[in-house]
Structure 1
Amino acid sequence: MIELNPKSNVLEEETYRYSLQDVEAPNLYRDVYPYSEVPKVPFNHRRVPMNMPEHIWITDTTFRDGQQSRAPYTTKQMVDIYKMLHRLGGPNGIIRQTEFFVYSEKDREALYQCMELGYKFPEITTWIRASKSDFQLVKNIGIKETGILVSCSDYHIFNKLGMTRRQALTHYLSVVSDAIEAGLKPRCHFEDITRADFYGFVVPFVNELMDMSRESGIPIKIRACDTMGYGVPYTGAAPPRSVPGVIYGLQHYSGVPSRLLEWHGHNDFYKGVVNASTAWLFGASAINCSLFGIGERTGNVPLEAMVIEYASLKGSMDGMDPTVITELAEYYENEIGYRIPPMTPFVGENFNVTRAGIHADGLLKDEEIYNIFDTKKILNRGATVSVSNVSGLAGIAFWINNYYRLSDDECVDKKDPLAAKIKEWVDKEYEGGRQTVISDEELCALVAQYAPDIAKHRA
């Protein structure tokens, strides 16, 4: 039987409806995940269409997954960060939601204080396990949406929960039903989806949820969780590792609309950001992130990365204020005491710093040669150099101009005697066995000695 597909507007064979395969033994995909070897990436050469939604957005898990790998935030820190997320996401709510734990008094107090601010965005949501005792914790808080853990791989169903697929499905549907009866919008977290039997359990389960959604009139979100970072963005890769295949399958075989489809990735194999972008491109409206990628093991998809990805894909910030990214990085360093790795894109100490003299010479001539974009305008962090034994005269001249914010007619170049005097001092330091870079304080002392008029610019 054929029917007109309202999405593609062409005649297609009637979509097959998958039913639950209630197997006796778990399917652990040992050919793909042998455990004693690096996981394999099989291909079936099936291609699915790119289906970028008209509207895409970011959701935040800084206060939930982001707290599972570091010391807990204080209530004040959570409120401060929430305020900055609000400013970063802008009036259009590109950072659409953020989720909180509700298990401790501190987390609940932070949640209440953030709710009292009255911000529309990010909307405050919660997260619970799929148990009725957890459900009671959030029932009366006054929020509109809660996340519910619905682990979907046989690793979890059989080996952690000790259930069959049918038992797990029945249990999950019961908890989701309880949330709907309480007037909450459920967000189902399909944990470990990239090791799950996609057509034997995931799709049949989502079909049941979509039926429940239609009958109740309550939207049920599907969060596809690449819990171990196994997802791959490659064209023609086979399930369960294929990110395009997962997103396409949820839409095509379960009818999940883009607005109810969310991707939650981890970075165990360095694919967090590219997998998230792929999920956007193939039909998910929401990408779940944490600030600076802080999260379980190797971390989550970095929120600041997806802010930049959004602008790259949509051609606009759509009201977001990316300079807040730098404020957040400074807050983490100075107020929280969290050390951001120096090479971290967009926020690390060295992300737009060069040490090589030849690079510094390029920066002096045209900043675009060695800076990824106008970091001063977009992130409120101008390109700079770090002076070492390889900086050369150009690196020293660039540091002087940048540090003292010299105007065009005041700038020194690499032929300036001041640069030569400082380079002579620097060369002697490294000839004497020095291994570290020259500090700003040391360079300031030299400028004060050799060019006091320039030193007055920072007085």
Structure 2
Amino acid sequence: MANDNRPIIKNQHTNLLELEEHIYHLVDVESPNTYRNLFPYDEIPKIAFNNRVVPHNMPDKIWITDTTFRDGQQSRAPYTTEQIVTIYDYLHRLGGPNGIIRQSEFFLYTKKDRDAVYQCLERGYEFPEVTSWIRASNKDFQLVKDIGLKETGILVSCSDYHIFYKMKMTRQQAMFHYLHVIRECLEYGISPRCHLEDITRSDIFGFVIPFCVELMRLQDQYKIPIKVRACDTMGYGVNFSGAVNPRSVQGIIYGLTTHAGVPSEQLEWHGHNDFYKAVSNSTTAWLYGCSGVNCSLFGIGERTGNTPLEAMAFEYAQLRGSLDGMDTTVITELAEYYEKELGEHIPERTPFVGKNFNVTRAGIHADGLLKNEEIYNIFDTSKFLNRPVLVAVSNTSGLAGIAHWINTYYRLPEEQKLDKSNPLVGKVKEWVDQEYEDGRVTVISDDELVEVIQENCRELGIDL
């Protein structure tokens, strides 16, 4: 250690001088490390702890990137060119003038996909930037060159499951293969984005960090940014403090930024929802030094799906204290477009976009909403999603629920709103009670309520 010339670097967040203690080299093992202690295939995966914690390291700027047209297309019928361009326009509006939705990635394999790329490029938007995704092959890279994109994602599978079992290579062979294609990108002035597939089952210190160190050396050589996307392909990542690698989200992000030297602004997290952790893991990646989180609209993606883009828009606002120009009412427009134009069923209880996400059926809740909607609504859903809080009328709604339904459905101004003592509300309540006494078990539909209300308005001489 007497001749140790490693640089001492000042951390811009903590203002402390730091000396990285470890230098990691590729460990070219003869047999794959499948972490059978963590991932016994005939048992439920294990979450183990070593109580090694890393510090919070929120980047100066964070953002969202989109994979709706790439990973999102792998679990549904392919979008048409027109649909892709329409959704891209929505994403531009949702991301706002500050480009919180920074990029959107596309397949290039079919003429339809390439036509969509050309048409989206013709829009001339700064955000989301149009990027592509390819496998680590010269044939795929030719597609990127033909279109003339500035950046492309490249699949660089990093777990031994993929390297040994799928690619039939050693770690050294895989690294050489990846670096060859990445160097090709750099020779043509194209910025590569390296997708570290299956990172949560990989050897972080024996392969991932040494590989990323080589990427940073190439970046220094070519003076072209190289991005790194940490892909939790199977959703194994956990955000628990002190969990062991390779399942620890914060441990992975710390390793990439501190040990491999990947700058936060060149680092992304790509999560899957197999264990219901896509959103919490993506937020954790932000908190510990990752600027970008990769998402798809409504979480549509491989198997259980990706991190929902709309969820991260609201995570962003909660962490930053501002939407920073995002227009979240576009989320509602997108949900309507998916259901009406694409025939996509969004489960009713899906946060922010499901039909029932801000609908209550409990009479006691409806009474609270009638007095002050803040009591049972998460935020002003009318303002941020153009979705006023609603009450579904059933046998448990009570007078307050019916009054709230009428006020909301007819958008009555404050001075005209009905309370639960109004005779119209009482008449409708009598009809509802009779329906359920006669054996009904379903919620009353809007059309039924409108018909009953109109009939009783005529009888009572009321004009809504």
TM-score above 0.5, yes or no: yes
- Gap regions ≥5 residues in structure 2: none
3-state SS of the aligned residue for 1:73?
coil
- 1:290 paired residue among 291, 296, 308: 296
The 5 A counterparts of 1:14-413 are 14-413=20-419
3-state SS of the aligned residue for 1:68?
helix
Cα distance in 2 for residues equivalent to 1:163 and 1:257? 29
Name the count of aligned residue pairs: 457
- The aligned counterpart of 2:450 is 444
Cα distance in 2 for residues equivalent to 1:180 and 1:433? 71
The 5 A counterparts of 1:395-434 are 395-434=401-440
CA shift, 1:379, in A, is 1.0
- What TM-score results when the alignment is normalised by the length of structure 2? 0.97
CA shift, 1:432, in A, is 2.0
Cα distance in 1 for residues equivalent to 2:427 and 2:457? 10
- The aligned counterpart of 2:10 is 6
The amino acid of 1:349's aligned partner reads K
Cα distance in 2 for residues equivalent to 1:95 and 1:14? 33
The amino acid of 1:4's aligned partner reads I
The amino acid of 1:153's aligned partner reads S
Cα distance in 2 for residues equivalent to 1:140 and 1:183? 13
3-state SS of the aligned residue for 2:103?
strand
- Gap regions ≥5 residues in structure 1: none
CA shift, 1:10, in A, is 3.1
Retained in 1: the 8 A contact 2:368–2:376? yes
Residue by residue over 1:201-245, the C-alpha shift from the partner in whole angstroms, topping out at 9 and shown as x without a partner, is 000000111100111101100000000000000111110000000
The amino acid of 1:57's aligned partner reads W
State, as a whole percentage, how many aligned pairs show the same letter: 67
Cα distance in 1 for residues equivalent to 2:307 and 2:80? 23
Cα distance in 1 for residues equivalent to 2:434 and 2:166? 62
CA shift, 1:13, in A, is 4.0
3-state SS of the aligned residue for 2:384?
helix
- The CA RMSD measured in Å over matched residues stands at 1.3
3-state SS of the aligned residue for 1:86?
helix
Residue by residue over 1:268-318, the C-alpha shift from the partner in whole angstroms, topping out at 9 and shown as x without a partner, is 101000000000000000000000000000000000000000000001111
CA shift, 1:454, in A, is 9.1
Cα distance in 2 for residues equivalent to 1:456 and 1:271? 50
CA shift, 1:5, in A, is 2.5
The amino acid of 1:82's aligned partner reads Y
The amino acid of 1:430's aligned partner reads Y
Retained in 2: the 8 A contact 1:4–1:10? no
